[in-house]
Amino acid sequence: MSKPLKRSLLVLLAVVVVGYLTALVTIAWAMRQPPEQFGQVMKHVPWPAFLAMPFESMWIRARAGMLQPGDPAPDFRLQTIDHKQEVQLSKMRGRPVVLVFGSYT
């Protein structure tokens, strides 16, 4: 293999590695953004990238949060199902609270 060919292959390899790392950092950043902004980034990602990048493990780390077992839950407000009133978690302190995420059928 000639010296110019080796050099060209090394430059190409460097460009591919830098591009891959840049894509990983960009997607990791996007995963920590609000859903609307995350969607704006992800709509530009071509489907083959999902095969080449560790999306699942990146998502689990990005959305893991900082709470540890035994930590108090962060305060939040939600509307009731009928939208007639708001419920705030901190006002229920001392009473049992059950949070259900997803479908309840």
Residue 13: both structure tokens together? 């390899």
Asked if residue 94 is part of any domain, the answer here is no
Q: Does residue 56 lie within any of the structural domains? A: yes
- pLDDT for 67 equals 83
> Residue 21 to residues 15, 27, 52, 89, 97: CA-CA distances in angstroms?
10, 10, 12, 41, 43
The answer as to whether 79 is a domain residue is no
Confidence of residue 105 (pLDDT cuts 50, 70, 90): low
Domain count, the chain: 1
Q: Which range of residues forms the domain containing residue 52? A: 3-67
92 falls within a domain:
no
Which pLDDT tens digit goes with each residue over 32-87?
Answer: 888 888 889 889 988 888 888 898 888 888 888 788 888 888 899 989 889 999 99
Two tokens, residue 42: 């992800």
Name the strand (E) or helix (H) holding 30: helix 3-31
Q: Which residue has the tokens 């609307």?
A: 36
Check residue 33 and give its pLDDT. Answer: 87
